[in-house]
Amino acid sequence: MNDVVNISGGIPGGPAAKVLTVSDGVSTGHREDLSGRALVELLATAGFDVREHRVTPDGSENVAVALRSMCEGFEGVVVTTGGTGFAPRDQTPEGTRAVIEREAPGLAEAMRLVNPLGRLSRGIAGILGSAIICNTPGSPKGCVEQFAAIIDVIPHALRLLAERPTDH
């Protein structure tokens, strides 16, 4: 079951953002979605126009289907939380890799460097159409720390992707 919440947060006209929570427990209602809400709050506070927050169960195919849907016709960043670890159902990077057109390894590397536990994240970042996808861990602290490490360059990256003028 995929739960979709259309939201409007942050600054209208700011860079567009969506959040995808990947979790069997959250999708079945057995766990609260603390990490997804933390990312929505981080993005809105940073001035992003948060347009959607969706939940999908773990598994590469579930992630791929959700990402394709979320990125269709979308110009912005999609931040995933969950499924980047070593457990058998942690397949977010595999689902992401199945849909992206190009990887953005510098973003994923920078996210992993913020905390020693970041070395346990298998998350990737890449481009699908006009969207940038970034995988973050499933813990509220980990997802916020990792995405905060790159949030300052995301608006510039989105302008480059859309072939809009930049400051350089």
Residue, of 107 and 168, whose pLDDT is higher: 107
pLDDT of 99-157, one tens digit each?
Answer: 999 999 999 999 999 999 999 999 999 999 999 999 999 999 999 999 999 999 999 99
156 in a structural domain: yes
Which amino acid is present at 117? L
Residue 127's SS3 state is: strand
155 in a structural domain: yes
81 in a structural domain: no
pLDDT of 73-91, one tens digit each?
Answer: 999 999 999 999 999 999 9
118 in a structural domain: no
> Is the separation of the CB atoms in 133 and 127 below 8 Å?
yes
Structural domain span for residue 142:
138-162
Write down the mean pLDDT value for the chain: 93
Q: Which residue, 90, 88, 70, is CA-closest to 142?
A: 90
Residue 81's SS3 state is: strand
94 in a structural domain: no
Residue 88's SS3 state is: coil
Please tell me the distance from the alpha carbon of residue 92 to that of residue 24, in angstroms, as a whole number. Answer: 12
